[in-house]
């Protein structure tokens, strides 16, 4: 009799354990399902991608970003963003891409654009300083160990204007261009086309700058005169040892 009672208690305990285990499993599966649904339906954010597919669901707007002063100048600069929102699988995707730059001269109380048209996207805008590479916050130490702004002498841009791989998107997988402008943004000029990859640049010396890039699977270097905005020389070298 006692053994039957013990067996009965054990069976009830096992039933409770099984029930609790089942409830925990259901809760775990439910939480996983909710997480998967939320991940599938959430808005995904990407940068530097422009969707050019003929899709009526794509909603686009432009937005001017924050104005920041150009080091060594009273002129301010702000990016113009193209923001696209479109359906993506069960959710949506939002992309933010820089299409242009606007400048403001407080002395003349006027604003102007870097390019006359806002198209394509800018992958980078690098502030160049004389006889040195750009450093954090464009600051150096003077003789009294005080921080002093380093004047920007020009900007170096990497941009994409066309969908060259026909994937209905403009992004860093497409052929790029390398361009420059002066510090005030009033003399924008594209210097190099058909760039597969931007590989860096040198310090400015005697108003000249060397820019490294890949084109036709070859590493090339272009020496640029910042005053004339012309390529002085262009050469290539082996990318293999």
- Whether residue 110 sits in one domain with residue 12: no
pLDDT at residue 134, rounded to an integer: 46
pLDDT confidence band for 30 (50 / 70 / 90): low
| 176-235 pLDDT per residue, tens | 999 999 999 999 999 999 999 999 999 999 999 999 999 998 999 999 999 999 999 999
- Whether residue 9 sits in one domain with residue 97: no
- Whether residue 227 sits in one domain with residue 108: yes
Average confidence (pLDDT) over 159-175: 94
- Whether residue 50 sits in one domain with residue 32: no
- Whether residue 167 sits in one domain with residue 226: yes
| 93-130 pLDDT per residue, tens | 688 999 999 999 999 999 999 999 998 999 999 999 98
- Whether residue 186 sits in one domain with residue 93: yes
Instruction: Reply yes or no on whether the pLDDT at 3 is more than 70.
Output: no
Give the chain's domain count: 2
pLDDT at residue 175, rounded to an integer: 97
pLDDT at residue 148, rounded to an integer: 67
- Whether residue 160 sits in one domain with residue 142: yes
Instruction: Reply yes or no on whether the pLDDT at 42 is more than 90.
Output: no
Write the CA distances from 99 to 19, 84, 94, 209, 234, integer angstroms.
59, 12, 16, 25, 28
pLDDT at residue 24, rounded to an integer: 72
Beta-bridge partners for 219: 214, 237
pLDDT at residue 37, rounded to an integer: 46
DSSP codes, 101-162: EEEEETTTTEEEESSSS--SEEEEEEEEETTB---GGGEEE-TTS-EEEPPEEEEEEEEE-S
Percentage of the chain beyond pLDDT 70 is 70
CB 117 within 8 A of CB 82: no
Instruction: Reply yes or no on whether the pLDDT at 41 is more than 50.
Output: no
Among 40, 85, 92, 89, which residue's Cα sits nearest to residue 61? Answer: 85
Q: Which of 86-95, 135-144, 187-196 has the lowest mean pLDDT?
A: 135-144
pLDDT at residue 131, rounded to an integer: 67
Q: Which residue has the tokens 């699988």?
A: 89
* Backbone torsions φ then ψ of 40, nearest 5 degrees: -75, -30
Among 109, 124, 125, 113, which residue's Cα sits nearest to residue 74? Answer: 109
Q: Report the chain's mean pLDDT, rounded to a whole number.
A: 81
Contacts of 130 (CB under 8 A, 6+ apart): 150, 151, 153, 204
- Whether residue 71 sits in one domain with residue 20: no
- Whether residue 51 sits in one domain with residue 20: no
- Whether residue 126 sits in one domain with residue 198: yes
- Whether residue 109 sits in one domain with residue 18: no
| Domain limits for position 150 | 43-237
Q: What per-residue string of b and e applies to 74-107 under the rule 16 or more CB within 10 Å gives b?
A: ebbbbbbbbebbbebeeeebebbbbbbbbbbbee
CB 200 within 8 A of CB 215: no
The DSSP code for 205 is B
- Whether residue 174 sits in one domain with residue 86: yes
The alpha-helical segments, DSSP class H, found in the chain are 2-41
């Amino acid at each position: 009799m006692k053994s039957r009672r013990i067996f009965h208690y054990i069976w009830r305990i096992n039933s409770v354990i099984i029930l609790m285990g089942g409830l925990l499993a259901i809760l775990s599966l439910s939480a996983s399902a909710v997480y998967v649904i939320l991940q599938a339906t959430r808005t995904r954010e990407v940068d530097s991608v422009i969707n050019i597919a003929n899709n009526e669901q794509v909603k686009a707007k432009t937005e001017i970003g924050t104005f920041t002063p150009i080091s060594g100048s009273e002129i301010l600069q702000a990016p113009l963003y193209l923001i696209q929102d479109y359906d993506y699988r069960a959710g949506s995707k939002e992309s933010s891409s820089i299409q242009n730059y606007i400048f403001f001269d407080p002395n003349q109380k006027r604003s102007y654009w870097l390019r006359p048209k806002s198209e394509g996207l800018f992958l980078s805008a690098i502030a160049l300083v004389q006889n040195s590479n750009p450093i954090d916050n464009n600051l150096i130490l003077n003789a009294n160990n005080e921080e002093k702004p380093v004047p920007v002498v020009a900007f170096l841009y990497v941009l994409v204007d066309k969908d060259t791989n026909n994937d209905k998107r403009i992004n860093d997988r497409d052929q790029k261009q390398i361009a420059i402008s002066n510090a005030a943004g009033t003399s924008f000029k594209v210097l190099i086309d058909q760039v597969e990859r931007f590989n860096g640049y040198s310090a400015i010396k005697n108003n000249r700058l060397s820019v490294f890039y890949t084109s036709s699977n070859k590493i090339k270097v272009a020496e640029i005169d910042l005053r004339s905005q012309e390529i002085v020389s262009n050469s290539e070298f082996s990318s293999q040892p």
